[in-house]
Amino acid sequence: MKNEVVFITGSAKRIGAYTARHLHSLGYRIVLHCHHSVDQVTTLAEQLNAIRKNSVKWVQGDLCNPEQLKNLAESAINAFDRIDVLINNASAFYATPVSNFNQQDWQALMGSNAQAPLYLIQLLQKQLKENQGVVINMVDIHAQRPLSGHTIYCMAKAALVTLTQSMAQELAPLVRVNGVAPGAILWPDNALPENEKNAILKQIPLGRLGCEKDISEAIAFLISAPYITGQILAVDGGRSIANPSVA
């Protein structure tokens, strides 16, 4: 894997950063991406390059701005002159009650979760085909069971599911396209009350919160699984199959 290059959007923090560390430990070269989190992405790149010299570079850009996506894709390619894996990880997530959402909410949520993955696949398809590459889209179990008050986000993730399945057909047989659908992996940055946390945990058959390792290992599996495409792998402790009357 020493020559293979993985481009991960939204990889300065949280699951994206952990996935970058995990894939780097497996021997991949990594192209990190951030929009505002320059300090975090710089630190992560320095740490990983200290482990293996010249194995990590980073690019910056607004995924919700279509005019920036072409330059972003070109910068990602130029980092190591190839792309083997595209991981569409970046995602805006927040509530949009029907009474007060606006165009900015639509652009932020649809832009990061659906529009950017579509355009990046288009812009990187030549590289991915040449290298018989892989696309991994970060979906969500709520694409199938919408989360109340989060209509635009759930619409965007549902679109990403369709994109995954459609591109798996259109780019076959040279490129495989799959999705990972996390459940409750990390608590949001804005702390939830304990009663809400406990209510969520009761919905999970395995009875615990997941972690970044669970997602990064699922991604690594899908990258290396040569006969799997067009699939959405739920990594949720069984939450998506729990009894709806309970969940």
Active site residue 153: yes
Separation of alpha carbons 222 and 134, rounded Å: 9
Separation of alpha carbons 121 and 104, rounded Å: 24
Distant-in-sequence contacts of 61-66, Cβ < 8 A, 24+ apart: 61/33, 61/35, 62/35, 63/9, 63/10, 63/35, 63/90, 63/111, 63/112, 63/116, 64/107, 64/108, 64/111, 64/112, 64/115, 64/116, 65/111, 66/115, 66/119
User: Which residues on neighbouring strands pair with residue 88, listed in sequence order?
Assistant: 137
Token pair for 228? 């799997």
Catalytically annotated residue among 18, 28, 153, 227: 153
Give CA separation, 54 vs 1, 73, 75, 197, in Å. 15, 20, 16, 41
Separation of alpha carbons 140 and 158, rounded Å: 8
* Active site amino acids: 153
